[in-house]
């Protein structure tokens, strides 16, 4: 295990916790079993930094097992913003190790995860290792949709890296610093999109930890949707700002298209479904969603070409400002009904073998482990 830092830290892990009711003790316990020493005098050791965000440190420290408390660096951080961006940025600013990793306070790692990830990254000569993910006690999470035969030197377009929005795994701290990566604090959602996109398209060597111990997402980490509806423009600001940035304009056309295809498929369509199912979809949502779609497609005009017939029907409804909630719910549900042939093929037959085309995408997704 290489260690290029001036101290003995090999991996710095930053955990953001926002309230004292989160199961931080589970997260910390899994890190202590991740295969790296925590003794301050040990070479190649692990350092865990728990950033207590807009909340007191002591109740959070008290949750951690007594035998683990002195092995954790607890840091208070207050910014008054309901976003994990600030505490992650602060924790990253304190890191000095060769590798850095971020975690949510609901999540955990399978045994020996960090040691195995570092070993694999070293073997591959990687700058980033994307962790395999799963629901705790359940199914694998099939992102990113990497080609079946690839684990190292991944291509951000061919291996569909944009579908892994959160940069979970390990990253070389020197790379993070040289790219000037941080999590924007101004967004209500999607704060990790620009960080990960700039990481995947940086030219860095990226590996996927296929078959290695996994990052586990627990049921109590489910997204809690606020009871106060937000404007579409606010929810999708992270996406429209990204595609209007100078950084995005500097990408190759295929790279821009891959990002926008994902933004449409996951985020734009996801927000349509959320509102349609809640029965809140109306003329205002329709107008704002159409404006967002125009911004995305202007930035990457070919991005819609690989989408399925069912996807394109929903996108057509968005762009024509369809305001009927029942109609939008039907279209948004149909595109996820994979027994229907309209979800299998792209409307544009020339895109049949495109990496984002439905059959290639779904078959590759099924093989991700």
Residue 250 has pLDDT above 70, yes or no: yes
Integer Cα distance of 289 and 270 in angstroms: 11
Integer Cα distance of 151 and 154 in angstroms: 7
Integer Cα distance of 27 and 72 in angstroms: 11
| Encoded tokens for 13 | 């892990």
From the CB of residue 339, how many other CB atoms can be counted at a distance below 10 Å?
6
Stretch among 22-31, 87-96, 134-143 having the lowest mean pLDDT:
134-143
Confidence of residue 299 (pLDDT cuts 50, 70, 90): very high
Confidence of residue 207 (pLDDT cuts 50, 70, 90): very high
Stretch among 34-43, 268-277, 294-303, 327-336 having the lowest mean pLDDT:
34-43
Confidence of residue 145 (pLDDT cuts 50, 70, 90): very high
H-assigned helices in 279-355? 283-299, 309-319, 325-334
Integer Cα distance of 25 and 79 in angstroms: 24
| Encoded tokens for 77 | 């951080």
Q: Mean pLDDT score of the chain, rounded to an integer?
A: 94
Stretch among 2-6, 64-68, 204-208 having the lowest mean pLDDT:
2-6
Integer Cα distance of 185 and 201 in angstroms: 22
Residue 206 has pLDDT above 70, yes or no: yes
Candidates 185, 11, 188, 18; CA nearest to 102 is 11
Candidates 306, 304, 318, 303; CA nearest to 344 is 306
The model's pTM: 0.93
Sign of the C-alpha dihedral computed for residues 266, 272, 275 and 278 taken in this order: negative
Residue 330 has pLDDT above 80, yes or no: yes
Asked if residue 221 lies in contact with residue 140, where contact means CB atoms within 8 angstroms, the answer is: no
Cis check: omega of the bond before 38, within 30 degrees of 0: no
How does DSSP assign 146-162, residue by residue?
--TT--SS--TTTTTGG
Domains of the chain listed by start with CATH number: 9-221 (3.90.550.10), 232-367 (no CATH)
| Encoded tokens for 360 | 């290639």
Confidence of residue 369 (pLDDT cuts 50, 70, 90): low
Instruction: State what percent of residues in the chain have pLDDT above 70.
Output: 95
pLDDT digits (tens, 9 = 90+) for 80-115: 998 999 999 999 999 999 999 999 999 999 999 999
3-state secondary structure of 243: helix
Question: In this predicted model, which residue has the larger pLDDT, 215 or 40?
Answer: 215
Stretch among 227-236, 244-253, 357-366 having the lowest mean pLDDT:
227-236
Residue position matching structure tokens 């070409």: 305
Candidates 2, 38, 31; CA nearest to 14 is 31
Residue 221 has pLDDT above 60, yes or no: no
pLDDT of residue 13: 98
Mean local confidence (pLDDT), 225-230: 54
pLDDT digits (tens, 9 = 90+) for 165-176: 999 999 999 999
Candidates 307, 296, 301; CA nearest to 335 is 307
Mean local confidence (pLDDT), 11-36: 97
Q: From start to end of 42-164, where are the E strands?
A: 45-53, 72-77, 99-104, 108-109, 128-130, 133-135, 140-141
């Amino acid at each position: 295990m290489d260690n290029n830092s001036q101290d003995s830290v090999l991996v710095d892990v930053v955990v953001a916790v926002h309230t004292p009711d989160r199961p931080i003790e589970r997260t910390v316990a899994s890190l202590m079993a991740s295969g790296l020493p925590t003794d301050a005098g040990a070479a190649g050791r692990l350092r865990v930094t728990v950033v207590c965000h807009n909340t007191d440190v002591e109740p959070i420290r008290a949750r951690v097992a007594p035998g683990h408390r002195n092995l954790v660096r607890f840091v208070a951080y207050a910014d008054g913003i309901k976003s994990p961006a600030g505490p992650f940025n602060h924790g990253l600013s304190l890191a000095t190790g060769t590798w850095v990793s971020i975690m949510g306070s609901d999540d955990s790692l399978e045994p020996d995860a960090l040691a195995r990830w570092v070993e694999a990254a070293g073997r591959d000569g990687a700058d980033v290792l994307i962790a395999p993910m799963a629901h705790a006690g359940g199914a694998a999470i099939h992102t990113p949709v990497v080609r079946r035969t690839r684990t190292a030197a991944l291509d951000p377009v061919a291996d569909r890296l944009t579908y892994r929005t959160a940069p979970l795994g390990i990253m070389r701290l020197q790379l993070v610093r040289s790219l000037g990566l941080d999590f924007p604090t101004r967004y209500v959602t999607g704060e990790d999109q620009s960080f990960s996109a700039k990481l995947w398209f940086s030219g860095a060597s990226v590996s996927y930890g296929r078959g290695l111990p996994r990052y586990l997402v627990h049921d109590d980490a489910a997204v809690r949707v606020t009871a106060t509806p937000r404007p579409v423009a606010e929810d999708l600001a992270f996406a429209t700002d990204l595609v209007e940035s100078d950084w995005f304009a500097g990408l190759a056309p295929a790279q821009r298209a891959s990002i926008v295809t994902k933004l449409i498929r996951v985020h734009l369509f996801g927000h349509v479904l959320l509102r349609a199912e809640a029965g809140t979809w109306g003329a205002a949502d329709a107008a704002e969603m159409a404006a967002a779609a125009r911004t995305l497609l202007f930035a990457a005009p070919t991005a819609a070409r690989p989408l399925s017939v069912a996807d394109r029907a929903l996108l057509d409804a968005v762009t024509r400002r369809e305001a009927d909630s029942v109609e939008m719910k039907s279209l948004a549900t149909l595109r996820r009904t994979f027994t229907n042939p309209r979800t299998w093929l792209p409307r544009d037959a020339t895109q049949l073998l495109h990496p984002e085309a439905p059959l290639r995408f779904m078959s590759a997704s099924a093989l991700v482990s």
